């Protein structure tokens, strides 16, 4: 049975998951990497879409709509008396050196690139990333300098995007392994309570497959851009419930007379 058949069986069959406890660890590791890959699909789609569109939109706005400005000693200077907000079809671009707008006051439901008084902020699908202008060191950044940076990013985007996604995949894989390692301990506790003969390495294997339903569900919700209240708690509950059903399918320990 290949990993895709196992993925399908793991959706509905605790009995089959219980049988997977005897398979080689290499196959389980490949399955965990598959789960990590599935889980980052929504982020990857949103990241590629936002990055490619945002760079082109930002370049057009810098050329045609943004006034002259400079960033020096970690501070933005525009000469404007009030914040400037440019509304585009899929995002907003903000330029504000007055200090009136802060990261916390920005609309997190709108894709945004904001150049604030002492930092720039990028919002994509509710995810907020901010960096201080001290990142530029002693370099004075002007409108023309920003345009050069954007042009460079546009030229290199099909190199930078895969690299960024690969790093994300490695990080997600590591977090998935850590998560399964922790839940494998819960699997051992359930095995003791239910008096099932389960070793830790077997608990690790069945835990990996018990995470399938939760992974697929939250991936689908992210693709649909649907917010789930208390998502981490629901995730833990679903994995623990399925793990419990799997452990129940394992024969009880034989009691020696």
Same domain, 13 and 66: no
| Lowest model confidence (mean pLDDT) among 103-107, 167-171, 203-207, 215-219 | 103-107
For range 204-209, the mean pLDDT: 97
Beta bridge partners of 112: 92, 123
Answer left, alpha or beta for residue 144, where phi above 0 means left and psi between -120 and 50 means alpha.
alpha
Beta bridge partners of 72: 75
Same domain, 26 and 79: no
Encoding tokens for residue 90? 């899929």
Whether the pLDDT of residue 135 is over 80: the answer is no
Beta bridge partners of 132: 119
Domain that holds residue 244: 3-43+163-248
Encoding tokens for residue 192? 């003791």
* Domain termination residue (choose one: 156, 185, 219): 156
Same domain, 94 and 181: no
Same domain, 202 and 216: yes
Domain for residue 254, yes or no? no
For 113, how many CA atoms within 13 A lie in the half-sphere containing its CB? Answer: 18
* Domain termination residue (choose one: 129, 156, 183): 156
Domain for residue 60, yes or no? yes
Instruction: Express each pLDDT in 68-113 by its tens digit.
Output: 889 888 889 888 888 888 888 788 899 998 888 888 888 888 889 9
Whether the pLDDT of residue 257 is over 60: the answer is no
Binned at pLDDT 50, 70 and 90, residue 126 comes out as: confident
Residue with tokens 């196992």: 6
Instruction: Express each pLDDT in 45-70 by its tens digit.
Output: 988 988 888 888 888 888 888 888 89
Beta bridge partners of 92: 87, 112
* Averaged pLDDT of the chain: 90
- Considering the entire predicted model, what is its pTM? 0.83
- Beta strand pairing status for 112-115 and 92-95? parallel
Domain for residue 202, yes or no? yes
Tell me which long-range contacts 159-165 makes (C-beta under 8 A, separation of at least 24): 161/47, 161/48, 161/51, 161/52, 164/47, 165/40, 165/44, 165/47, 165/48
Same domain, 92 and 133: yes
Domain for residue 256, yes or no? no
How far is Cα 75 from Cα 79, in angstroms, rounded to an integer? 12
Same domain, 106 and 147: yes
Same domain, 143 and 119: yes
Number of structural domains (the chain) is 2
* Domain termination residue (choose one: 156, 185, 210): 156
Same domain, 232 and 208: yes
Same domain, 89 and 120: yes
- For the chain, the first-to-last Cα distance in angstroms comes to 39
Burial pattern 36-59, b for ≥16 Cβ within 10 A else e, equals bebbbebbeebbbebbeebbebbb
Same domain, 148 and 62: yes
Give the H/E segment covering residue 210.
helix 200-210
How far is Cα 100 from Cα 149, in angstroms, rounded to an integer? 27
């Amino acid at each position: 049975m290949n990993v895709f058949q196992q993925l399908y069986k793991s959706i509905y069959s605790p009995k089959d998951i219980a049988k997977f406890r005897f398979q080689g660890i290499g196959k389980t590791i490949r399955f965990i990497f598959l789960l990590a890959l599935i889980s980052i699909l929504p982020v990857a789609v949103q990241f590629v879409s936002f990055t490619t569109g945002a760079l082109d939109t930002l370049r057009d706005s810098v050329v045609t709509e943004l006034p002259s400005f400079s960033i020096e000693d970690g501070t933005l200077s525009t000469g404007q008396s009030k914040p400037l907000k440019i509304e585009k079809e899929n995002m907003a671009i903000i330029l504000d050196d007055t200090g009136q707008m802060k990261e916390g006051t920005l609309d997190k439901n709108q894709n945004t690139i904001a150049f604030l008084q002492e930092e720039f902020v990028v919002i994509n699908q509710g995810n907020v990333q901010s960096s201080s202008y001290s990142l530029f060191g002693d370099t004075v950044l002007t409108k023309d300098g920003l345009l050069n940076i954007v042009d460079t990013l546009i030229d290199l985007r099909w190199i930078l995007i895969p690299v960024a996604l690969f790093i994300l995949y490695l990080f997600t894989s590591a977090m998935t392994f850590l998560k399964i390692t922790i839940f494998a301990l819960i699997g051992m506790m359930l095995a003791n309570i239910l008096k099932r003969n389960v070793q830790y390495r077997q608990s690790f294997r069945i835990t990996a497959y018990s995470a399938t339903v939760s992974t697929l569900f939250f991936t689908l919700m992210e693709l649909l851009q649907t917010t789930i209240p208390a998502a981490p708690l629901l995730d833990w509950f679903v994995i623990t419930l399925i793990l419990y059903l799997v452990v129940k399918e394992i024969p009880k320990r034989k009691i020696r007379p």
